[in-house]
Amino acid sequence: MSAKARVHGRAATPVTPPELTRIPGRRILVVSPVVQIRIGPGDRVLVSPGQKVTAGMPIAERTVDAEFVDLGRLSGSANGNGKGDGNGGWKDPQQERRRPPTPGKWWVGGDDRRGKNARREGPRRIAGTLLYEINGRWSAAAGERHEKIESPTTGVIMEAANCIGIAMKVTGVAIPAAVAGGQPTRGYLDVPRLVDGELRDTALDMGRSGAIVVAGGRVSAEALTRARAMSIRGMVAGSLGQAELRDLAASEARQRAGLHSMPPFGVLGLDGHQRRPIASPILALLAALAGREVAIITEPPLLVLDVVDVPLPEIPPDWVRVRSGIHAGREGRWLSSAGLHRFRAGIHLEAANVRLGDDLGPTIIALSDLERFIL
Amino acid sequence: MSRQPRAFFALDFGAATTSAALVGHAGGRWRLLAHAAAPSTTDLDALLFGILDRVEQADRELLEFVSARERPRAAALVTDLARLESRSSPPRRIAVLAGSKRQRRRLEEIAARAGWLVVGGSADVDDPLELSRLVLAWDTHAVLLGADSTPAGDEKRHLPMLGALVAAAARRRPELAVVLAGGAAIQESDFSGAGEHDRIPDAVKVSATAGPAEEDPSAVAVGTSAGAPEAAGATPVMTPVGAPSAAPAVEPAPEGPPSKEAAEGTTAGGPSASAATATTAAVAAAAAHASDLEAPAHAAPVEMPAPAGDRHDSVLLAPDAESGQPAGSALQQVLEGLRARSDESRLGIARSVRSLALLLDKSIEVLEVGVDGGLRCRAEAVGPGHRTIVSSHVAMASGSFAPEDLSDEMIDAVSSWSTIAFDRYRLSDRLRDLRSSPWGEADGEGALLRLAAAKAAVQRLVAATPEISQREMPDILIAAGGVWASTPPSVVALAMADLVRRPGVGRLACDQARLLGPMGAIADEEERRKMLKDLVDDVLLPLGSLVLPAGIRQGRSAGRMRVIGGTANSDIDLQPGGIWAVELPPGQTATADMDFRDAVRLGARGRHFSVEVSGGLGGLFVDLRDIPLRLPDRADQKRATWESWQRAMWSEIDE
C-alpha cells in the first residue's frame, strides 16, 4: 500500500465497496477519547471536574506506602453528616481543613501537622485519605511517602474522586491499542529503523532517553528491562506477550517498594498478545509523527497525540490485513468474495480472495480473519 | 393494502456472535425459514437482508406468503418485520466481603454461580485497606456483605467494621449496588445516609453532553461510558473502560410476535421489578425462586429483581448463604437478578428449556458456552406423568471459553484437553487473543484450540453444578452457544460424551439457530410453549444418540450390539475403552439390542438391553470408555489419547 502521508487535515474518506462492509473495520484514530487514571485508598486528586489540564501538570498525589491507620476521634461532626465532596474540590486549603471529616477526605497528621520536629532530622508528615468511621473513631489509609502523578496529556477533567480515580477527556486524537502495561507516560515519539519489522535490543541506548520507542512486531522482556534502565519512557509494539506483561508488573512492584522512584514507563501492544508486525497504515502514521510528543495511556490502551490535525496515510478502499490465522500480519488487496469455503479441519467459513503482498496469485482467507482500516 | 406479516426475526445478540433467524407461519404452523450467524461487529441490517435474500432466491412464494405482500422488497422487510430479541449480559464484578474466610468462600461460590466475576476478602485475613481497595475499584459494580443468619463470634465482631467500610464506599460511589445477606442485614442502618450525604454534588460535575468533543461518535466509542445508557445526558459515572456500565438498560422483554403488541411494534413489558424497594425485591425474589422449584411450569415466569440500574442508592437485603433448596439458591437468585438484564440470553435458554421439558415430557439438559460466560441448566418433570417441572440453572462467567479473569488453573485445564502441545505463556496469549477476536482462526489449529477451550469451560460448569451431575443421564442433552457453531456435529457429540459421564441412553442435539434464547424472551409461558411446540424440530438440530454403559470390565470383548431399523443394520463387537459412531441419519429411529458378558449399568443394571435410538448428523454413539474417564498422567500420552478418539470422529483434521 502507499505510505504517502498528507500533513494537516483529514483525508477524504474513500468509498468502501459494499461487499467489504462484512469485514470488521479497525479504526486507526479515535477523536477525544475519555481516559482513566486509577488511584486507590490513600491517594488524592489535585484537580476538579471541568478543569482543563495540560501535559505534565500534577493531577493526583499517590501515597506510595499507604497503610491502615486508626485515627481515633477527629474534630467535626460524626456519622458523615458534614457537607463537602471529599474529592479535593475545595479550592481553599484552609476551608478544606476545617470541613468535617467524611470518607475520602484528605487527612494530614504527624509532627508536621503539629509543628513538632525537634527529635527528627525532617518533619514526619503522615497523610492520606479517610476510610470510614465507627462510633466516632475514624480510620484512614495514610503514609509518609507521596508522589505526584502528572497528567500524561492535555484534556478536560470529567470526574475526579479521591481514592477512586480521574476520568479525563483528551484534547486531540489517539491510536487505539489492544494491550497495555505499566503506567501512563509521555515522551517524544522515536521510530527507529526496524530490521525485518523488529527492533534490536542494542538499539535501545541512552540516546533514546525520554522517548517512546516504536519497537516493531514484538517487544521482549530483555528489551523492556533495558529500555527502563536507559530512561526510555515507553515502547509501542505490534504485540505484547503475557510473559512480558507479568515481568513488567513484577518489576514495577519492586520499584514501588524501593525508595527511589523512577519516571513512569508504559508499553502498548497494538494488535494483541501473539506476535504480529505493526500494520503498515499505522506504521506510516507513526513514522510521520516521529519526533512529536505523544502519551501512552493504559486505561484504555491508547497512544495519544495531543493534536487534532495529524498526517493520515492514504489507504486504498480495498486494502485489507490478515488479523489471525496462518497469514496473520500480512496485508493485501481484496479481489472478490469466495463464498462459503472449506478450510483446514473441514471447517466451512465465508471467505474472500485476497492478493497478499507481492504474491502472484490470490489467497483464500476467511472473512473473520480479515480486517480493514477506517480513518 | 397489506395484511399482517406472518413472520418475525428471532435475534440473539451474543458477545461474539449475532445470530438471526427468520421464523414464519406457513402450512399451519411456525417454521424456521432461514438463519445465519455473523461476528457481533457485523451490520445487523446487512445480516437480515442476507437472510431474506436467501429465502427469496429459494422460495419467492413463501416469502410473499409470510410477509403478506406481493413482490416484497427485502430492504423494506428488514425494518418492517417484528423482532424477538435476547442478548447476553456483559460480565460484571462483585466484591464479596465477610467476617470469616469460611463465609467468604461460601458467598464467593454463590456469587460465581449467579454469573458474577468475583473478588473477595474477609476481615479475619485481610487488612481493611485491602478491603477498601476492592470496593472502591471502579471495575467493581456491586458489593455483597454477608454473614450467617445468626452470626457466630468470629463473624459478628467484624460486622460493624465491614458495615461502616461498605457504607463509606457507597457514599463515595453512589452507583455501587450493595447487598447485605443474612446476618449482615443488621448493618443496614449504616446506609441510612448513603446516597444523600457526601455525594459528589452534581453541580460540580461536567455533564456528559457538554463539550464539543461529545459530538464526535468516535469519542464515545472509546470513552468511559461507551455506549452506556447513562452517557445520554446523565452525569458520567466511573466505570471500567470498555466494560459494561454498572447500570444496564432495562428493556422490557417483548411479547411474542403473534401477540398484538408485538405486531404493532410495541412492547408489553417483561419481568422486571423496577420500582421494587430493596427489601421487597429480595423477598420477592426468594419467594419466586421457591415457587420456581415447586410450582407447575404453567405458572407465571419467575419475577427477577430489576438490574442495578433501577436502584441506585439502594441496599438489597438478601437471604443468607444457606437459604433455599439447594442451599444458597435464594441468594443466588437475588444476585442473578441484580446482574442480568431481563432479556438475557442465558436466562431465556433456561426458560425455554423448562417449557420444552413440559412440552416433550422429557428431562432436558443444556450446556451453553460463550465468550461472556456459560450456562448449565436442567429441567424435568417431578415424576412420570406429572405436569410439574423442576428446573435449575447456573450461569457462570467462568463458563466462558476465554474467561476475562484467566488464571493459571484455567490455562492448565485447556492444556489438559488440548491435542496440541503449548507452553503456558503461549497458550495464555492465544486464549487472550481468542477473547478479543473470538472468530479469529476458526480453522485448523485454531479449531482445535477452540474445542479444548470449550471443553475446559464445560468442565468448569460441570464441576460447579454437582446437583445436576448427580441426576441421571437426561433424555435430551443440548449443546448451545457460538463456540459449537462451526464445529463438526460428530465432534460436538464426542465433546458431550467426554464431559457428561453418566450411564444411560440420551439424545444429543444442538441449538444451531440459537433460538432458545429469544424464545425465552417471550414473557407468557403459554405463548412460549405454543411457539416451541411448532418450532421444536427446528430448534433442536439432532446430533444423534449416545449409549453410555457403566461397569464394563477392561481387557476383553464386553459383548455385542445390533442396531436394527431404518437404513442402519449393524452388528458391533463391543470392545471396552473406545467410542464408536454408527451411521443413523437424522429423522430415523432404530432399535439397539445389546448383550453384555457381565452386568452393566445403563439406566438400570443388567446384561441385555433393547433401547430406541434416534439418528442425527453424527449418528449413534456407543461409548465404552470408563466412567469417569481414565487418562494417562503424562501430558504427551494424554494428548495422544485425546487425539485418537478425536481423529475417529474428525477425519478432516489432517486436511
Distance CA B589, CA B564 (A): 9
pLDDT at A97: 62
Residues A169, A34: contact at Cβ < 8 Å? yes
How far apart, in Å, are the Cα atoms of B174 and each of A160, B312, B470?
Answer: 14, 7, 43
Distance CA B568, CA B37 (A): 33
Distance CA A24, CA A366 (A): 12
pLDDT at B3: 60
Distance CA B269, CA B187 (A): 35
Gyration radius from chain B CA atoms: 26
Go through chain B and tell me how many residues it has: 655
How far apart, in Å, are the Cα atoms of B35 and each of B4, B12, B28, B31, B63?
Answer: 22, 11, 20, 11, 14
Distance CA B162, CA A180 (A): 34
Residues A204, A223: contact at Cβ < 8 Å? yes
The answer to whether A299 faces chain B, any CB pair under 8 Å, is: yes
Helix axes B635-649 and B408-417, enclosed angle (nearest 10): 50
Written as one letter, the residue type at B101 is K
The answer to whether A340 faces chain B, any CB pair under 8 Å, is: no
pLDDT at B604: 86
How many of the other CB atoms lie within 10 Å of CB of B211? 15
Higher confidence at residue A196 or residue B343?
B343
pLDDT at A308: 77
Distance CA A303, CA A188 (A): 12
B46 and A302 in contact by Cβ < 8 A? no
Least confident of A138-152, B20-34, B137-151, B281-295: B281-295
The nearest CA of chain B is from the CA of A321 a distance in Å of 13
Helix axes B424-436 and B408-417, enclosed angle (nearest 10): 100
Write down the residue that cell numbers 486508626 correspond to: A70
User: In sequence order, what are the residues at sequence separation of 6 or more whose Cβ sits closer than 8 angstroms to the Cβ of residue B249?
Assistant: B229, B309, B341
The answer to whether A249 faces chain B, any CB pair under 8 Å, is: no
For every residue of B112-169, DSSP letters joined together read: HHTT-EEEEEETTTS-HHHHHHHHHSTT--EEEEEE-SS--HHHHTTHHHHHHHHHHH
B129 and A41 in contact by Cβ < 8 A? yes
Q: Domains in chain B, ordered, with CATH?
A: 7-87 (3.30.420), 93-199+270-339 (3.40.50.360), 345-654 (no CATH)
**Parallel, antiparallel, or unpaired: how do β-strands B619-623 and B541-548 relate?**
parallel
- Span A313-374: which CATH code? 2.30.30.30
**Closest Cβ–Cβ partner in B172, B236, B443 for A167:** B236
B180-221 pLDDT, tens per residue?
999 999 998 888 765 444 433 333 333 333 333 333 333 323
The answer to whether A84 faces chain B, any CB pair under 8 Å, is: yes
Helix axes B444-464 and B408-417, enclosed angle (nearest 10): 120
B488 and A346 in contact by Cβ < 8 A? yes
Backbone φ and ψ for A144, nearest 5 degrees, come out as -95, -30
| Cis-peptide, bond into residue A300, ω within 30° of zero | yes
A80 and B197 in contact by Cβ < 8 A? yes
What nine digits make up the cell of B519? 424464545
Q: Which range among B202-206, B348-352, B563-567 has the greatest average pLDDT?
A: B348-352
Share of chain B above pLDDT 70, in %: 80
The answer to whether A16 faces chain B, any CB pair under 8 Å, is: no
pLDDT at A83: 39
The nearest CA of chain B is from the CA of A156 a distance in Å of 9
Share of chain B above pLDDT 90, in %: 57
Distance CA A40, CA A60 (A): 11
Please indicate whether the domains covering A175-311 and A313-374 agree at the CATH topology level: no
Q: What is the mean pLDDT of chain B?
A: 81
Nearest CA in chain B to A246: B425
pLDDT above 60 (res B310) = no
B431-453 pLDDT, tens per residue?
999 999 999 999 989 999 999 99
The answer to whether A368 faces chain B, any CB pair under 8 Å, is: yes
How many of the other CB atoms lie within 10 Å of CB of A215? 31
B343-363 in b/e form (b: 16+ CB < 10 A) is bbbbbbbbbbbbbbbbbbebb
The nearest CA of chain A is from the CA of B205 a distance in Å of 5
What nine digits make up the cell of B442? 476458526
Residues A231, A265: contact at Cβ < 8 Å? no
From the list B543, B536, B623, the residue with the least C-alpha distance to B585 is B543
What is the pLDDT averaged over residues B513-534? 94
B440-491 pLDDT, tens per residue?
999 989 999 999 999 999 999 999 999 999 999 999 999 999 888 888 889 9
What nine digits make up the cell of B272? 422486571
The answer to whether A104 faces chain B, any CB pair under 8 Å, is: yes
Of the residues A13, A70, A163, the best mutation for testing chain B's interface (the one with the most B CB atoms within 10 Å of its CB) is A163
From the list A15, A28, A14, A11, the residue with the least C-alpha distance to A321 is A28
Q: Which residues of A touch B136 (CB under 8 A)?
A: 40-41, 163-164
The answer to whether A303 faces chain B, any CB pair under 8 Å, is: no
Domain boundaries, chain A: 63-148, 175-311, 313-374
The answer to whether A329 faces chain B, any CB pair under 8 Å, is: no
Helix axes B444-464 and B101-113, enclosed angle (nearest 10): 130
Nearest CA in chain A to B424: A243
**Parallel, antiparallel, or unpaired: how do β-strands A155-161 and A165-170 relate?**
antiparallel
pLDDT at B308: 37
pLDDT above 70 (res B299) = no
- The topology (CATH level 3) of A175-311 is Glucose Oxidase; domain 1 (3.50.30)
pLDDT above 80 (res B263) = no
**Closest Cβ–Cβ partner in B242, B430, B443 for A345:** B443
pLDDT at B303: 35
B238 and A174 in contact by Cβ < 8 A? no
Residues B457, B497: contact at Cβ < 8 Å? no
How far apart, in Å, are the Cα atoms of B587 and each of B334, B488, B565, B567, B616?
Answer: 42, 18, 12, 11, 7
pLDDT at A366: 94
Distance CA B547, CA B582 (A): 11
The nearest CA of chain B is from the CA of A99 a distance in Å of 12
How far apart, in Å, are the Cα atoms of A197 and each of A194, A305, B429, B615, B638?
Answer: 5, 23, 20, 54, 38
pLDDT at B231: 33
What ipTM did this prediction achieve?
0.86
Q: Which residues of A touch B128 (CB under 8 A)?
A: 68, 131-132, 139
Question: Digits of tens for pLDDT over chain A (375 positions)?
Answer: 443 334 344 444 556 667 788 888 899 999 999 999 999 999 999 999 999 999 999 999 999 999 999 998 886 544 443 334 455 444 455 566 667 899 999 999 865 455 555 555 556 678 999 999 998 899 999 999 899 999 999 999 999 999 999 999 999 999 999 999 999 999 999 998 776 667 777 788 888 899 999 998 888 889 999 999 899 999 999 999 999 999 999 988 887 777 677 889 999 999 999 999 999 999 999 999 999 999 999 999 999 998 778 888 888 989 999 999 999 999 999 999 998 899 988 888 889 999 999 888 999 999 999 999 988
SS3 label, residue B412? helix
Write down the residue that cell numbers 463470634 correspond to: B153
Q: Which residues of A touch B448 (CB under 8 A)?
A: 345
B486 and A349 in contact by Cβ < 8 A? yes
Distance CA B179, CA A14 (A): 52
Distance CA A234, CA A295 (A): 9
The answer to whether A263 faces chain B, any CB pair under 8 Å, is: no
The answer to whether A32 faces chain B, any CB pair under 8 Å, is: yes
Residues A129, B169: contact at Cβ < 8 Å? no
B139-177 in b/e form (b: 16+ CB < 10 A) is bbbbbbbbbbeebeebbbebbebbbbbbbbbbbbbbbbb
pLDDT above 70 (res B251) = no
